[in-house]
Structure 1
Amino acid sequence: MNIKPLGERVVIKRLEAEETTKSGIVLTGAAKEQPQEAEVIAVGPGAIVDGKRIEMEVKIGDKILYSKYAGTEVKVSGEEYTILKQEDILAIVE
């Protein structure tokens, strides 16, 4: 099953949380902080403003940083995704 976002929405898949700290301490499941880095899985066609389509700034495969409490989490075919608006994306990681 594919997810096709509408308007200026983006489907992302969160990258895995760090298992250890930089100093080498192993974190338990409860201590891991949710990552704010993700990979773009699908991109909507863009918003329409004053009758003109505004192109999306991200594309499939981009690694991004997004706002901490942004988006809606969904589960499709056993996989967890987040759908959020493009405005909730803070940066593209290069």
Structure 2
Amino acid sequence: MNLKPLGDRVVIKKVEVEEKTKSGIVLPSTAKEQPQMAEVVAVGDEIANDEKKKDQIKVNDKVIFSKYAGTEIKVDGVEYTILKLNDILAVVEE
């Protein structure tokens, strides 16, 4: 199933990062804060058709987003978040 966001919305998939303490203990994702980094899965038509916005963000970009932004959904067993473009704070460039 494909997700197609409407308007100026973006669908993201959170990036899970395994974290270790200094002593080497691996922290499971349930024991730490939710990640604020994600990968863009889809962008709405309002973004894709806007000359200024389409260069700001595109599919497969890694982004940092506001902590409590968006609506979380589960599709085919995969968790996604749908949020507005304004809730994305930065694009991570490697």
TM-score by length of 2: 0.83
Paired residue secondary structure (1:61):
coil
Question: 2: distance between equivalents of 1:89 and 1:29?
Answer: 22
Q: Is the 8 A contact 1:17 1:34 kept in 2?
A: no
**Alpha-carbon RMSD:** 1.7
Q: Tell me if 1:31 matches 2:31.
A: yes
Count how many residue pairs are aligned between Structure 1 and Structure 2. 88
Q: Is the 8 A contact 2:10 2:44 kept in 1?
A: yes
Code of the aligned partner of 2:91: I
Question: 2: distance between equivalents of 1:75 and 1:32?
Answer: 21
Q: Is the 8 A contact 2:40 2:63 kept in 1?
A: yes
Q: Is the 8 A contact 2:18 2:26 kept in 1?
A: no
Partner of 2:70: 71
- CA gap of 1:19–1:89, structure 2 versus 1, over 3 A, is same
TM-score by length of 1: 0.83
Higher share in helix: 2
Unaligned runs of 5+ in 2: none
Paired residue secondary structure (2:86):
helix
